[in-house]
Each structure stands twice: as C-alpha cells, then as structure tokens.
Amino acid sequence: MSDRTPERLTVFKTYKLYVGGKFPRSESGRVYEVTDSKGNWLANAPLSSRKDARDAVVAARKAFGGWSGATAYNRGQVLYRVAEMLEGRREQFVREVAEAEGLSKAKAAAQVDAAIDRWVWYAGWTDKIAQVVGGGNPVAGPFFNLSSPEPTGVVAVLAPQKSSFLGLVSVLAPVIATGNTAVVIADERAPLPALSLAEVLATSDVRAPLPALSLAEVLATSDVPGGVVNVLSGRTAEIAAPLAAHQDVNAIDLAGADEALAKELEIAAADNLKRVLRPQPVDDWSATPGTDRMTAFLETKTVWHPTGSLGASGSSY
C-alpha cells in the first residue's frame, strides 16, 4: 500500500448544444467522439440532427425582433460583455484550442487573444456601420431620401473547419453585431471551443444595457439572450443541408464548407433566394477584417419623403 495521496480524478464536462438560450442535448440522443490532435478522447459532443437545426431556426427567428430592434449602442455593450466574459475564461479556451488544433500553449493563447480582441473590434462597429454604409441621397427633386442598413434576418453560419475558435468568432461576431441572429454549425472536428463559447454567450447579458452587473446577476438572467446565437455540433454536411433549404433562413455563410458542399448548399439556398457568402480563401484569421462580413448580411432600406416648400402655394406632396 502506498501512503501517497492518489492523483485527483478530474471532473469531465458534458458538452451540450446551445439553442434558444438553453443547453439541450441533441433531440436525437446521438453523440460523437471528439479527440485532440493526437487522437486522444476529449469529450462526447452532441451529434445534431435536422430537427435540432429546425429548432435552432425557430429560436433564432423568435429572437430576431428583439435583437434587431435593440439599439446599436446596446448591441455594442453586449458584444463587449462577451469579450469580458471570454477574458475571464481565457485559460480554458487556450487549453481547448491547444488540444483541438494541436498548438503550443503560446500559439493557442495568441489565437484566443486575437479572438477576444475581435469581439471588442466588432463591439465598436455596431453603432458605426450604419453611418459608413448608409446615408442621405441627393435626389433631383424635393424629397428627403435616406438609405439605412438593416439586418437581413436569420443567418446560418458554417464555422471554418480549420480555426476552431478565432475563425468561429471571426464569422459569428459580424453577423450578430449588425442585428442578425445566427445558427452556427461548429467546426466538425473541433467543436468544443464553440460549445464553450455558447456558455460564455449565455453568461453575457444580451438584454440589459448596463454591462456592469455582477457575474452572479448575469448568470441569473442568462436565459434572456436566448436565440440570438444558437450553436450546433455534429456533421456539417448533415446539419447544413436543412438550413440551406430552410424557408425561414435568410442568409448563409459557407465559410466551413468545402467546394462540393458549398455548391450544393448554394443551389439549395436559391429556393428562397438566401443571401450567400461563399467560402473565401483565408490565410490568416488574425488579420484585421474589413466590413465585408457585416455588409454581406445587411439589406439597404431607402425611405423617401417629400420635403415640402414653405411659402409656396398649396401642398407639395
């Protein structure tokens, strides 16, 4: 008998989906094995079904009115709050990214830091993008004419397959910064950072304008953000097909699709004329993005009104 204390057995976490602000298992009851880059078992992730995808769309649609109707300032506060929550769980994400992508701790830390900074970057965009892409139009007549961007609606996002966290953040943040709601399919091979991100989102206050709440209070209201971001794990091709064909999805980001899958999904997306963002070659997710990922999911609404003319006879309608 040894008199040494045995090494402590760690507590594993059951990873779950994030749909409508709740953490359900897949309705199918299926899971799949997630391994680190060396093939060692890390966890069982839910293997989402078509039904999970449809449920996520319903949740995203339900959340769209409130989220798109929130002030841009409010959305910026919420996105910044996400960055704060991530910063607090930085070590966890560094570990998960290192395991998932086979990176050294330093390299994984650089990815996580860049991802946190990206949330901050997009948090600052929420109340500026309308000024940059919208504006008054000098029409040749007595009319006030204003173009403003509006979110397109529910966006299906296929997270990049080779950047489990920074890539994910880089495609998700611009979608919700502009007021869309999202159904995200996590990196098929390395879904854990995405699922953990969902936990962070759940603890970020997506409704209250004052982010300076204590973490406990945030947790207490963590069901509130429900539906703005929904995260599914599983086989990308299996979940993406029903999303691309879904009549209540307005747009799809194909970042995580290979060429053949992207074509198939784009054809399905034509059925209700979804806005499609095709996969772009990305060498380095850490490069500063432009506004393209935001404008891809924005509509332009142009409103006209007669200006009238004081002193002239009669009405000028």
Note the residues at the interface with other proteins (CB under 8 A).
132-133, 135, 137-141, 143, 145, 147, 152, 250, 259, 262-263, 266-267, 269-273, 275-276, 278, 290, 292, 295, 299-306, 315, 317
Are 139 and 306 a contacting pair, CB within 8 Å? no
The structure tokens listed for 267 are 């054809």
- Shortest approach of other proteins to residue 153 CB, angstroms? 8
Give the nearest distance from C-beta 308 to other proteins in angstroms: 10
Q: Which of 202, 296 has the CB closer to other proteins?
A: 296
| 298 close to 133: Cβ distance less than 8 angstroms | yes
Of the two residues 302 and 309, which places its CB atom closer to other proteins in the complex?
Answer: 302
Classify burial at 89, counting beta carbons within 10 Å of its beta carbon; exposed 0-12, middle 13-18, buried 19 or more: middle
Query: Which one, of 179, 168, 172, 204, lies nearest residue 87 by Cα?
Result: 204
Nearer to other proteins, 223 or 292 (CB): 292
Cβ-Cβ contacts under 8 Å for 250 (sequence gap 6 or more): 152, 153, 154, 155, 180, 274, 275
Taking the least distance from each CB to other proteins, the nearer of 14 and 131 is: 131
Is 233 in a helix, a strand, or coil? coil
Strand-pairing partners, residue 32, are: 45
Residue whose C-alpha is closest to residue 61's, from 156, 196, 202: 156
User: Which residue lies nearer to other proteins by CB, 217 or 258?
Assistant: 258
Write down the least CB distance from residue 248 to other proteins, Å.
11
Minimum CB separation of residue 136 from other proteins in Å reads 9
Q: Which of 83, 284, 265 is nearest to 172 (CA)?
A: 83
Nearer Cβ to other proteins, position 29 or 290?
290
Minimum CB separation from other proteins for residue 111, in Å? 27
Kindly state the smallest distance separating residue 263's Cβ from other proteins, in Å: 3
